[in-house]
Amino acid sequence: MKMWCFLILFFSANSYGQRMDAGMILLKNSKLPKTAVLNSTTDLNPEDPMRSILQKHKGAIVYVDIWATWCGPCLAEMSNSKKLRNKLQGKEVVFVYLCINSSSENRWRKLISSKQMAGENYFFDQQYSAALSERYKVKTIPRYILFDQNGDAMSEDAKRPGEDAVLRTINGML
């Protein structure tokens, strides 16, 4: 009986290690955009994580994209987000991507690479997702929030990056 337990544990641990190694190889081969920043939530206030993020970018306009790895409409907007970033390049505008209610941090990293999500990227666990959703009344995604240079929300339900109005609004704030 002891031998069976040992064998089960040995092979379980071994196959887990192989899966982890394969995942790490995949991540090493992924090419993140040069200006993509993967941030840890350890420095954020769990009750109001946005406040901590906005403090970091005081003086800049912050366009926040709230999305999830499983959300088709969220992923469909990423190419429009890239176009918007390119149009605003060189201006004091920061793009922040908050991945909420997603279970796979590895999938998050892969999507940042494949969708070329340059900007500040955060993976929010359930605690941070709940705090953000409660504070900004996020019921559906994708959701966009636009903050001015002082960290005040100009629109808690901003236009999608593919809509011309968002570019006009941001340019008007500069």
pLDDT tens digits, one per residue of 15-41: 333 333 333 333 444 555 555 666 667
Q: How many whole angstroms separate alpha carbon 63 and alpha carbon 114?
A: 21
Say which residues have a Cβ less than 8 Å from residue 133's Cβ, sequence separation at least 6.
100, 139
Rounded Cα distance between 152 and 87, Å, is: 23
Does CATH place domain 32-173 in 3.40.50.300? no
Ranges of each domain in the chain: 1-30, 32-173
Dihedral sign for Cα 48, 49, 55, 57, please.
negative
- Read off the tokens for 37: 């920043």
The span from the CA of 6 to the CA of 138, in Å, is 48
Q: pLDDT confidence of 153, banded at 50, 70, 90?
A: very high
| pLDDT, tens digit, 9 for 90 and up, residues 88-108 | 999 999 999 999 988 888 889
Instruction: Determine the Cα–Cα distance for residues 98 and 120; give it in Å rounded to an integer.
Output: 8
Instruction: Over range 76-96, report the average pLDDT.
Output: 95
| Token output for 103 | 């279970």
Contact assessment for residue 154 and residue 54, using Cβ atoms and an 8 Å cutoff: no
With 50 as the cut, is the pLDDT of residue 158 above it?
A: yes
Higher pLDDT, 158 or 12: 158
Concatenating the DSSP letter of every residue in 28-74 gives HH----TTEEEE-STTS-TT-HHHHHHHHTTTSEEEEEEE-TT-HHH
